[in-house]
Amino acid sequence: MQHQLIIHFDTYSSSQELPESIQNLWQKAQEASLKAYAPYSNFSVGCAILLENGEIVMGANQENAAYPSGLCAERVALFHYGVMHIHSPIKAMAIVARNQTGNYTPASPCGGCRQVINEYAEKQKEPFEVFFQADTEFIYHFKSALDLLPIRFGAKNLF
């Protein structure tokens, strides 16, 4: 039996086309990428999370000489959000990356980050949007973070 998965997403040709609130979030993700500790890969990633109360939580990737002891920007931001016990739901997430020349470059969340993003999306029981530079010409916009991991492992699988 064959099945088909269909995932819907929008594209923007530049950050200037993003909704105004997301343009600010995008800028915060860029700022976060400047705080990355990436001496080994020289691949700096920033993540910014917009909460419904308007607050923005940021994270940047943190590398370590003892691979894989580092942590991706998305997980840094989400874990910071979780530790702060902020009671405002996540509304949107923006992810940007810079390569070793300092130019912004395409990067989508890795599998581990997609799993953590999924956990937070399921935990809050309402979707949040995700924006990231997926290729050199487009910013991808997923209206639900759950679309990043269509066949997911979650808490329901443990029982």
* 102 — pLDDT class (breaks 50, 70, 90): confident
Please report, rounded to a whole number, the percentage of residues in the chain having pLDDT higher than 70: 100
Per-residue pLDDT tens digits for 103-131: 888 899 999 999 999 999 999 988 899 99
Find the mean pLDDT for residues 15-22: 93
What was the pLDDT predicted at 136?
Answer: 74
Task: Provide the H-helix boundaries in the chain.
Answer: 20-33, 73-83, 111-124
* Maximal CA-CA distance, the chain: 48
pLDDT, average across residues 36-43: 95
CA 16, 92, 70, 85 dihedral sign is positive
Q: Tokens 């700096």 — which residue? A: 44
Whether 155 shows a pLDDT value over 90: the answer reads no
Task: Provide the pairing of β-strand 129-133 with 90-98.
Answer: parallel
CATH 3.40.50.1370 fits 10-149, yes or no: no
Which residues are annotated as catalytic?
74
Contacts of 156 (CB under 8 A, 6+ apart): none
Q: Residue 143 gets which letter from DSSP? A: S
Between CA 90 and CA 81 the distance in angstroms is: 9
61 and 70 Cβ atoms separated by less than 8 Å: yes
